[in-house]
Amino acid sequence: MSGRVGVVVFPGSNCEHDVVEAIEGLGGDAELVWHGARSVAQVDALVLPGGFAHGDYLRPGAIARFSPVMDAVRSFAADGGLVLGVCNGFQVLTEAGMLPGALQKNRHLRFLCTTVSVRIERSRSFISRLARPGTVLRLPINHFEGNYTCEPETLAELRAEERIVARYCDNPNGSIDDIAGITNEAGNVVGLMPHPERAYDALLGSSDGAILLRTMVEPPRGRSRAATAEAGATPGPAGSRLV
């Protein structure tokens, strides 16, 4: 059975169709969820896509966290549902308090759209379930506010609890500890600045993002995520396709 992924659309989101395409291209089902929705019961996983929710006015994510759908997202996550925030979605999750820290303007104070190398770390996150720690992925980034920051105590926790999902190999934006993505304590809520959906098809220059998105298309069987991770991890070069 393939996973059903809900993609939340705020006014001003712009990567929602891209996420739908990538999920469907990888064999999953996806549907758009309007930000006014008060329930997300029919999906197995949720993506908060990139873009400029509510125009990023005030601050990225600062208004989106008040959208009605966010209560539903919060209870979906509390019940163990998988939630991935990509780029602007990551910003929304931090503003909503579902992930710690904040994303501030890039070190060079310019918008940056390019493809970077990202190293997958050993973490409790669902999104890296199929990727071996140390795997280097080529993933697009596209942000002005991607410079992750947090309190020193929070950083210590993130490290100690294996909650840093991915690090930049060559830090493009000034993020603390080269952080490109983090997860919550339960490992079911993940924020990533890079866009895995932009790298799901080799025709676009990289298919390295597929290994991340497949975790939502193919939900783990059985109860133990750890066991599944052991079984599912596939050796091989970055971006190798799993069957």
Partner 1 sequence: MGEVIHRALGLSDEEAAEIESVLGRPPNHLELAMFAVMWSEHCSYKSSRLHLRRLPSEGEAVLVGPGENAGVVDAGDGIAVAVRIESHNHPSAIEPYQGAATGVGGILRDVFTMGARPIAVMDSLRFGPLDDARNRWLLEGVVSGISGYGNSVGVPTVGGEVGFDPCYSGNPLVNVLCLGVLPVGRLVRGRASGVGNLAVLLGASTGRDGIGGVSVLASAGFGATGDGRAPSANGSESLRPSVQVGDPFEEKRLLEACLELLDAGLVVGIQDLGGAGLTCATSETAARGGVGMDVDVSAVPRREPAMEPFEVMTSESQERMLAIVAPRDLSRLLEVCARWEVSASVVGRVTPGQPDGGGGRLRVLDGWDGAVLADVPAAALADDAPVYDRPRRAPAPIAAVAPDGPEADRTDCGADLLALVADASWVYQQYDHQLFLNTVEGPGGDAAVLRLKAPGLPASRRGLALSTDGNSRWCRLDPRQGAAMTVAESALNVACAGARPVAAVDCLNLGNPEHPEVMWQLSEVVDGLAEACRALELPVVGGNVSLYNESQGRDIDPTPVVGVVGLIDRLERRLPGLTLVPGERLLLLGHTVASLSGSRWAAERGSGAASGGGRLPPLDLAVHRALVELVVDLVSDGVVTGLHDVSDGGLGVALAELAVQSGTGLVARGIAGHAELFSESPSRVVVCTANPEGIAARARSAGLAVSELGIARGDRLVVEGLVDVALADLEQAWRSTLPDRVAGRH
Using DSSP's 3-state secondary structure scheme, residue 132 falls into coil
Which C-beta is closer to partner 1: that of 178 or that of 197? 197
Tokens of 126: 């669902």
Q: Tell me which residues in 85-114 interact with partner 1 (CB under 8 A).
A: 110-114
- The residue annotated as part of the active site, out of 95, 121, 145, 197, is 197
118 binds partner 1 (CB under 8 A): no
CA–CA distance, 32 with 41 (Å, rounded to integer): 13
- Check binding of 197 to partner 1 (CB under 8 A): yes
Residue ranges in 15-44 that form contacts with partner 1 under rule CB under 8 A: 15, 17-18, 21-22
Residue 153 to residue 145: CA distance in whole angstroms: 22
For the question of residue 197 being annotated catalytic, the response is yes
Q: Per the structure block, which two tokens stand in for 145?
A: 């506010």
Q: Which two tokens stand for residue 125?
A: 């996150």
- Give yes or no for a contact between 54 and 27, defined as CB atoms under 8 angstroms apart: no
Residues 199-218 that bind partner 1 (CB under 8 A): 200-205
Q: Which stretch binds partner 1 (CB under 8 A): 52-60, 71-79, 156-164, 233-241?
A: 52-60
Indicate which residue of 54, 87, 145, 150 is catalytic: 87
Active-site residue, from 35, 54, 143, 195: 195
Identify the CA nearest to 23 among candidates 51, 46, 50, 53.
46
Helix (H) or strand (E) holding 231: helix 225-232
Which residues bind to partner 1, rule: CB under 8 A?
Answer: 11-12, 14-15, 17-18, 21-22, 51-52, 54-57, 110-114, 140, 142, 144, 195, 197-198, 200-205
Residues with catalytic roles: 87, 195, 197
